[in-house]
Amino acid sequence: MTARDPRAPKFPLPLERLTPATRVRAPAAAPSGLGLDSQGVRRSMVDRLRAGGIRNEGVLAALADVPRHRFVDAALVTQAYEDTSLPIGHGQTISKPSVVARMLELLFEGSNAKAQGTLGRALEIGTGCGYQAAVLARLSKQLYSVERLKPLHDKAREHLATLREHRIRLVYGDGRHGHPPNAPYDSIIAAAGGDDLPGQWLEQLATGGRLVAPMHDARAGTQVLMVVDRGDDGYVHSRHEAVLFVPLKFGLD
């Protein structure tokens, strides 16, 4: 009989693996990004976001701190600080900085986030390349991020290892189920949208917590940002601006 690995999670995680982002050995030298490591480049991006209406200084500071160019392919680094989404492979994209900023700003308007001054225990659905997770980690007490595409899960681990961020736990799993073992969450954010919000996400939202996710709005005929607050008496939904995210899918790949 094979001895149980003492590092293995004690809770059952069928088809999932919970991995500290820092467990991957960081490369000997991070890519320079053709000079894009300069903080001035990121400050310029943040200045544009502020001029575009983002007001939460904590969100802006986190965006200014994370080197976005390290999360995109080498051929695209010169576009890393433009307000545009970029392909990251496997039919997925890294979201526009303005969309990331807006969704995080909305999260901070939740009751628990206001009271704590942080996003608290947070859950991200759709790790992608790991960029938004890096930003979220600077705003949360603990972040759990779920990705269903194994190549992207592995890529995010490599990217995040260079930042040595200990508050992130990456999960290879089906994001439609959320991540029950560490629920409830003060903040939940999704980077993919469907026709509805999975019931598991709502169940895993703490009282006083807030969820922000794209969802198809049949009345508008487009995706919108859906915000859900959980109170003592149930859930309150509100619709916000139109967005365009990749579809929310089932299963693992």
Question: Per residue in 117-171, pLDDT tens?
Answer: 999 999 999 999 999 999 999 999 999 999 999 999 999 999 999 888 789 999 9
Question: Per residue in 184-230, pLDDT tens?
Answer: 999 999 999 999 999 999 999 999 999 999 999 988 889 999 999 99
Q: What average pLDDT does this structure show over 103-128?
A: 97
The answer as to whether 65 is a domain residue is no
Question: Per residue in 2-61, pLDDT tens?
Answer: 444 444 444 333 333 444 443 444 443 444 444 566 688 999 999 999 999 999 999 999
- Give alpha helix (H) positions in the chain: 39-51, 57-65, 97-107, 111-116, 131-137, 150-161, 199-203
DSSP state of 193: B
Which of 187, 175, 100, 198 is CA-nearest to residue 142? 187
State the CATH number of the domain containing residue 178.
3.40.50.150
Looking at residue 242, its amino acid is A
- Residue ranges with strand state E in the chain: 17-20, 86-89, 92-94, 121-125, 142-147, 168-172, 185-190, 205-217, 222-231, 234-243
Distance CA 205, CA 172 (A): 20
With bands split at pLDDT 50, 70 and 90, how would you rate the model's confidence at 253?
confident
The answer as to whether 47 is a domain residue is no
Q: Specify the pLDDT at position 36.
A: 67
φ, ψ (nearest 5 deg) of residue 115: -70, -35
Domain that holds residue 93: 83-243
Q: Specify the pLDDT at position 5.
A: 46
With bands split at pLDDT 50, 70 and 90, how would you rate the model's confidence at 181?
very high
Q: How many folded domains does the chain comprise?
A: 1
The answer as to whether 70 is a domain residue is no
| Stated pTM of the model | 0.86
Residues 6+ apart with CB under 8 A from 59: 101, 104, 105, 108, 135, 139
Burial of 1 (0-12, 13-18, 19+ CB in 10 A): exposed
Identify whether the C-beta of residue 84 lies closer than 8 Å to the C-beta of residue 164. Answer: no
Identify whether the C-beta of residue 80 lies closer than 8 Å to the C-beta of residue 94. Answer: no
The answer as to whether 216 is a domain residue is yes
Distance CA 151, CA 231 (A): 37
The answer as to whether 134 is a domain residue is yes
Question: Per residue in 224-243, pLDDT tens?
Answer: 999 999 999 999 999 999 99
Angle between helices 39-51 and 57-65 (to 10 degrees): 150
- The alpha carbon of 75 is separated from its chain's Cα centroid by a whole number of angstroms, namely 23
Active site residues: 95
Residues 6+ apart with CB under 8 A from 91: 246
Reading the block at residue 147, the tokens are 């990705």
Distance CA 132, CA 136 (A): 6
Identify whether the C-beta of residue 191 lies closer than 8 Å to the C-beta of residue 126. Answer: yes
Distance CA 196, CA 214 (A): 9
The answer as to whether 12 is a domain residue is no
The answer as to whether 132 is a domain residue is yes
The torsion angle over the Cα atoms of residues 204, 210, 216 and 220, rounded to 10 degrees, is 150
Q: Specify the pLDDT at position 62.
A: 97
The answer as to whether 212 is a domain residue is yes
